Structure 1
């Protein structure tokens, strides 16, 4: 490696490392702010918090890495141009393209590393992170009761309107839904106030409820009684409930319980999962179609006789005559077949119920198909996104390096403005494309690569203008037409004055 290449590479690496560390900690602080409710008040040890941040940190690399490359490129080449180092290189016969050669090799190598990082490290870290979040919430169920929303603890869903007291043990407006696994009946308990008692060394969460009542559904074997939806109601002045927390407090912090999602799969697993999802989608779609077809008593096969005139096949004339006679025998108004209004109303009611039932089946089938399509598109988008991360590193370099050489400004002033503006556009298009692809508005490939397609012309334009010393904007092309227009106007006014 020549001295010049080593100097350019060293200058870039120093700037890149500094920018990456600063941005990394900024995004980490943002993550802490987002998940502060899950960490605060849980009496967690320091190592558990470190694991939480350690598993979260790989998820922000796809955001930090391209932005760091963009900002470091603008700052490095801006410093070279501002300090007339590029002028010295050009006077020695070294072009900008030649100066970028060593960094280009480094950025291509970094993009390959980014791909493998996105394919292997990020899915595993995200998998660990989701499981750790779940286990932290279950570690302290007494602290997991958040007011204003239902909190699942064991077989109970507990909602509290207001919490008070030093440790939030005094409750107001308590609503509890209880359902045992495999049971069809449900118990709903309401109380005006309550008192929460729990201990870290105890496996019981004790709830003392005051001035309340409960409803309990009653299961009966008689169909006629079941239609009446029987229930039992009772009131109480005080009731003590003990919730067994043995299974929750014995959870290992490293126990993996969450099922895989598209963000937790590598490339090979995504291909296998997409194949399974598409196969299930085809079967589900065919099943829904058959179900709807059978409900309305239609067949998808072509009838033997559609129209005896248009059908060129030789058919039995007697069969055709019978078919036409049967068709013509059906009256235009089916209600004319019934004499009494009661029979007519019953017919209309049956038709209405049949239509509503078919409408519900069709709507339910559409929702199922839509959710499966959304899941397939999400997995395809995650697959393409692993390649986009690597390409984004190359793209940001070929935007930042020529832009820094053109604006000729280093430091943390103007380069930060350009870097943030470009990255906001990149991130916004990425998010927009992802949402649009998930909703099946555009193909997942286009949704994942949309930001790259939009910004690639900018990278090509900036690289072309910087390597040919054209500049960002040729002001003469803007000012000369205005100058000529002004001269014509002044000449016209002077002639009128004479």
Structure 2
């Protein structure tokens, strides 16, 4: 490494680390101020607060990294320009691009680190931070007894303390109302003094009361046992005096319960590139399925008209139909098989052939079950028994069989006679089917005309209106679901591009900060801080507006997400060009020269118009 590279790197590494920590601290405070009311007063321990702050600090890295690069570049090259070190380097024949080269490689490393943080660290930290914040919001406030007011934080218990000593344990004039029986203020405890402390890992609250009374109002125990109704005359009041008593209350509702993180994983900021790719593919398939269902269900919308009309599906919908049909045609075993598993080839049975010249496949006879064999034997026995019956009885059985069993008629083959009487028992003669007389065209047309010329009834009109409303509702529901899935698809695609765009912003900020610091030639935190804040506001506004337009569909996803980076990158190239030619953009003489050139151009143009002949 050359000395000039070491000089430039030493000038930027220190300011970058300081500015990065400062920016993370500022952004962390801004984020935590939004949840200040949800955190204060919950009695959280230092470990829980440390986890929450750490994960939110990691969550701010995508925003803090570009701002730190911009601010450190401005400070580093402003200091080099202010101390004439940059002028000496240029005087020695080294160009500004050569001076920026080591810092550019350093910024490339920072871009890779920012991409790793955006893709791996930020989703995990966002999941941890927001799941922990949700549990903190659900947690009850810590036990806080105030003097002269009732405390109702414990379920079905009201406590009033007239005086609370500085140690937080000793109490004076304590009143406890027990409402756990849900029958009013019928159990009251009054004590002159007491002590309060939590026990068993703060799961229970123990009151140690001194010199008091316990009042209990209710019906007689004997009447409750025998099941008699309560009345006002049977109400009793008992008072018991105590010198010391202990009351224990359950504080399990004050403990913070952790929710399963799987309920928060579907949010876009908690997904990396691989998970976002899967989400985008799933949402696209869902949109295509909704569109395909609309085309498939369309014939059911019309009972009489347009049933045979064909509508050409879009290519992507038709391709999804073929894909879905191919998936549905697979057997259940192939559907449940993992993608990396290899299918087992079907086993092929060997066929033994007697004749080697002409092999034949011997088909095995179908094995009948025991039930079928018994039925066959039974039917043969019935046939044999019917043959032994007298002819008159057999004729009755034959008529009964012809009336209850429909068989196909036996036609006489051409050139052959019917079987003989000996084989007649195996032949069943059925009655010929009735022939339908076709309707003539004139009769059919008259029937159709009579149907169409008849006036529709109120029931027919109401049914048609209901059918039209149903079709309209189904179409609106399909379009609404497609719009919702399309919006969700845009959100996931925006987050996918945002992971790359926020990392590339480090390069764009470097191209602005380093040349601009060389032009301004002011070090410290004054002017660089103001300039960096100005450009960061522009970057933030362009990013938010681009994402909003892309989410609404007014702008493409790529243009909306990359708009801020592209504009800042072009601005950085402009500042780099001006820095190479030593332009004085922030001096009054530069702008006075530009104004004089514009005035001279207008004067020459006016004289040229006057010299032209009319």
TM range (shorter): 0.5 to 0.7
Structure 2 distance, partners of 1:446, 1:483, is: 40
- 1:16 and 2:19 are equivalent in the alignment: no
CA-CA distance at 1:278 after TM superposition: 1.4
> What is the aligned partner in structure 2 of residue 201 from structure 1?
203
Tell me whether 50-59 or 287-296 shows the greater mean CA deviation. 287-296
- Please state how far the C-alpha of 1:168 moved relative to its aligned partner: 6.5
Match runs of 1:11-90 below 5 Å: 11-90=11-90
2:495 maps to 382
| Cα shift at 1:250 | 7.5
1:401 Cα deviation (Å)? 0.6
In the alignment, which residue of structure 2 is the partner of 1:266?
272
Q: Partners of 2:54 and 2:507 in 1: how far apart?
A: 27
- CA separation of 1:67 and 1:296: change in aligned 2, threshold 3 A: farther
SS at the partner of 2:60? helix
Identify the residue that residue 481 of structure 1 maps to in structure 2: 598
Mapped to 2, the partners of 1:36 and 1:250 lie a distance apart of: 18
- In 1, Cα distance between the equivalents of 2:572 and 2:273? 28
Give the C-alpha shift of residue 454 in structure 1: 2.1
* Number of the residue aligned with 1:455: 568
- Give the corresponding residue for 2:4: 4
Specify which of 277, 300, 303 is matched with residue 283 of structure 2. 277
- CA deviations on 1:66-110 (whole Å, 9 max, x unpaired) are 011111111221222222221111111122111111101100111
Q: Report the Cα offset of residue 451 of structure 1.
A: 1.2
2: CA distance between counterparts of 1:245 and 1:358? Answer: 56
The one of 219, 238, 251 aligned to 2:257: 251
Q: Indicate the SS of the match to 1:460.
A: helix
**Displacement over 6 Å in runs of 4+:** 244-248, 328-331, 483-489
Structure 1 unaligned residues grouped into runs of 5+: 144-163, 172-192, 204-243, 304-320, 490-498
Secondary structure at the residue paired with 2:498?
Answer: helix
CA gap 1:270/1:481 in 2 versus in 1, 3 angstroms = closer
Secondary structure of 1:448's counterpart equals helix
What is aligned with 1:307?
A: none
CA distances 1:129-169 after superposition (whole Å, capped 9, x unpaired): 122122223333899xxxxxxxxxxxxxxxxxxxx966565
Preserved CA contact (<8 Å) 1:127 1:260: no
Distance 2:461 2:253 in 1: 55
Residue matched to 2:94? 94
How many aligned residue pairs are there?
377
* CA–CA distance in structure 2, aligned partners of residues 425 and 300 of structure 1: 59
Matches of 2:150 and 2:561 in 1, distance apart? 49
Instruction: Give the SS at the match of 1:100.
Output: helix
Q: 2:529 aligns with which of 416, 427, 430?
A: 416
Secondary structure at the aligned position of 1:404 is classed as helix
Go from structure 1 to structure 2 and tell me whether the alpha carbon gap of 1:480 and 1:444 turns closer, same or farther (over 3 Å shift).
closer
Preserved contact between residue 138 and residue 248 of structure 1 (Cα < 8 Å): no
Per the normalisation by structure 2, the TM-score is 0.55
Alpha-carbon displacement from aligned partner over 1:16-46 (angstroms, at most 9, x marks no partner): 1221111111111112111112212221111
Aligned to 1:392: 505
> Is the counterpart of residue 432 in structure 1 residue 545 in structure 2?
yes
Distance 1:355 1:414 in 2: 69
1:272–1:25 distance in 2 versus 1, CA, 3 Å: same
Shift of 1:487: 12
The answer to whether structure 1 residue 294 and structure 2 residue 300 are counterparts is yes
Does the 8 Å CA contact 2:519/2:585 hold for their aligned counterparts? yes
Structure 1 169/246 Cα, relative in aligned 2: closer, same or farther at 3 Å?
Answer: closer
Q: Which entry has the higher C-alpha Rg, 1 or 2?
A: 2
| Cα deviation digits, residues 440-469 of structure 1 (max 9, x gap) | 333322222121122221111111111222
Q: Any stretches of 5+ residues in structure 2 without a counterpart?
A: 156-183, 186-197, 206-249, 312-440, 607-614
